[in-house]
Structure formats: C-alpha cells, structure tokens
C-alpha cells in the first residue's frame, strides 16, 4: 500500500512529516538495466503537495529502487543546499515496467527553491501493507508483501498516527504487536473521536529501514452521534 512517503527522513513514533519530488524525462538510464521511460509530474496540487510518477523499465534482475526528490535552495546563504528530502521505494521485477508514485511537500514561496528528482537502485527493504477491519471493533494489518531483495526483513513496527490538515501528526500511544501480520482492537474510550493513518516501519538484518503509511482509521464514540468504526485501505 505505498502512499509515497509523506514521511521523508523521519523520527518514527515521535514525529511524522510531509515530503517531496522532481522530474526526469525521455528514456533516462539509471543503472543495472533500469530506465525511466516516461513520467508524469505535478509540482503543485490543490491539496498542498506535489506528485511525481516516473515509469521505470527493468531489463535487468529484480531490484528495489528508490525515488528521491530534494528541495534545493536557490536563495541567499543556503543556495544549493538541500532543504528537505522525500523518498519512496518500490520493487521492480525482472522484465517489468512499473510506476513509482511519489508525493512531496513544498514551501510557501516557490521562487526561493527548486526541485531535484531521481531514481536509484537501493539495498533498502520495501515496506508496504494492507489494512482492513477484523470484526466489529478490530483491525488487521498485513505487511506480508513487504520485501528485501538482498536480505531478510527482521522487524515490523506499527503505529497509528493522527491525521490533521493533510499531515501525519504524532502517533497514538497504542501498543501494537511487532509482527508481519497483526490484529488488534484500538483502546479508544467513550465520548472520543479520532482520525488516523497507519504507519509501518520494516528493518532488515543489516539494519536498513523503510517506511510506509496510508489507509485511514475513523472512530467516533461521541455521545449524541452515530457510532463509527471505519478502516479504509
């Protein structure tokens, strides 16, 4: 369930922030048989973030790739410095052509920065998951499609983070089992209302990590309202 990392280079379980991207066009070689054969790019959208969708052709062996978007300063003492970096991983099978969908943030004044974007092979694992309801008040999170090409995934960490104004905020203090597939019941009390996003971090045996977030959880137990418990994958 990749939702392109509105997570960027982040501190898991303390803050989760919004991130960004740029473009390559034509048939651009990457390495190891990888090429960008097409792309779609919208640097600014009405929802406050940009979207970059490179189409990657793999004529080599199955590999994990990472799309990277840097926001680069074009003004003052910071000129040429990277202000923020956004990234998103994907597994591209041998002989496959696949889209990598990235979302990225930006600043209020576009005259002071530019975007730089690229795709590279990576040894990082690829985190992805599916979320669904499991019974009336429980949730199932399944990360079995997460994958490491060069190693094995040794750790799965889950959180549900508050979603507000199109940004992922602090995680709720819930203890979710650290397993590939988990089922749990959110400890939400009476007269409470939350809206959150699911967050997954995987770690391989060499300590490399990747994160994914997406889906949504809506719970409304407020007195006087119709009760809601919805999981959107």
pLDDT of residue 226: 80
Q: Which residue has the tokens 């019941």?
A: 185
Tokens describing residue 213: 């977030």
Which CATH number is associated with domain 130-232? Answer: 2.60.40.10
Residue 86 contacts by C-beta under 8 Å, 6 or more apart in sequence?
A: 4, 5, 8, 19, 20, 21, 68, 69, 70, 102, 103, 104, 105
- Mean pLDDT of the region 66-78: 92
Confidence of residue 228 (pLDDT cuts 50, 70, 90): confident
Higher pLDDT, 64 or 9: 64
Q: Residue 136 pLDDT more than 90? A: no
pLDDT, residue 109, reads 81
Specify the 3-state DSSP secondary structure of 206. coil
Q: What 3-state class would DSSP assign to 104? A: strand
How many CA atoms within 13 Å lie on the side-chain side of 213? 30
User: Does domain 28-122 sit in CATH 2.70.50.60?
Assistant: yes
46: left (phi over 0), alpha (psi -120 to 50) or beta: alpha
Region 12-27: mean pLDDT is 32
Q: Identical fold at 28-122 and 130-232? A: no
- Kindly indicate the confidence band of residue 1, based on its pLDDT and cuts at 50, 70 and 90: low
- Written in H, E and C, the secondary structure of 133-174 is ECCCCCEEEECCCCECCCCCEEEEEEEEEEEECCEEEEECCC
Which pTM does this prediction carry? 0.80
pLDDT over threshold 90, residue 20: no
Calculate mean pLDDT across residues 103-122. Answer: 88
pLDDT for 163 equals 76
pLDDT at 75 over 60: yes
Q: How far apart are CA 19 and CA 30, in angstroms?
A: 23
Q: How many CA atoms lie within 13 A of 130 on its CB side?
A: 6
Distance of CA 16 to the CA centre of its chain: 10
The proportion of the chain whose per-residue pLDDT surpasses 70, expressed as a percent, equals 85
Q: In what order do the strands lie in the sheet with 193-204?
A: 167-171, 153-164, 193-204, 209-220, 228-232
pLDDT tens across 154-207, in order? 999 999 998 765 566 788 899 999 999 999 999 887 777 888 899 999 999 999
Q: Domain locations in the chain?
A: 28-122, 130-232
Helix (H, G, I), strand (E, B) or coil at 208: coil
147-151 average pLDDT score: 95
């Amino acid at each position: 369930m990749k939702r392109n990392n509105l997570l960027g280079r982040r501190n898991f379980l303390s803050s989760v922030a919004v991130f960004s991207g740029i473009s390559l066009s034509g048939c651009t070689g990457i390495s190891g048989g990888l090429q960008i054969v097409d792309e779609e790019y919208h640097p600014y959208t009405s929802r406050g973030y940009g979207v970059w969708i490179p189409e990657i052709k793999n004529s080599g062996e199955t590999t994990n790739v990472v799309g990277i978007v840097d926001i680069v300063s074009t003004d003052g003492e910071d000129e040429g410095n990277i202000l923020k970096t956004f990234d998103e991983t994907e597994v591209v099978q041998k002989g496959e052509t696949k889209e990598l969908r990235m979302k990225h943030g930006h600043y209020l004044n576009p005259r002071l920065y530019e975007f730089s974007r690229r795709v590279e092979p990576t040894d990082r694992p690829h985190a992805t998951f599916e979320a669904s309801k499991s019974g009336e008040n429980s949730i199932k999170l399944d990360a079995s499609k997460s994958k490491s090409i060069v190693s094995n995934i040794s750790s799965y960490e889950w959180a549900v983070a508050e979603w507000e104004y199109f940004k992922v905020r602090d995680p709720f203090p819930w203890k979710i089992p650290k397993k590939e597939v988990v089922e749990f019941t959110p400890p939400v009390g009476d007269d409470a209302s939350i809206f959150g996003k699911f967050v997954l971090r995987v770690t391989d045996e060499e300590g490399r990590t990747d994160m994914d977030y997406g889906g949504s959880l809506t719970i409304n137990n407020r007195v006087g309202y119709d009760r809601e418990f919805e999981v959107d994958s």
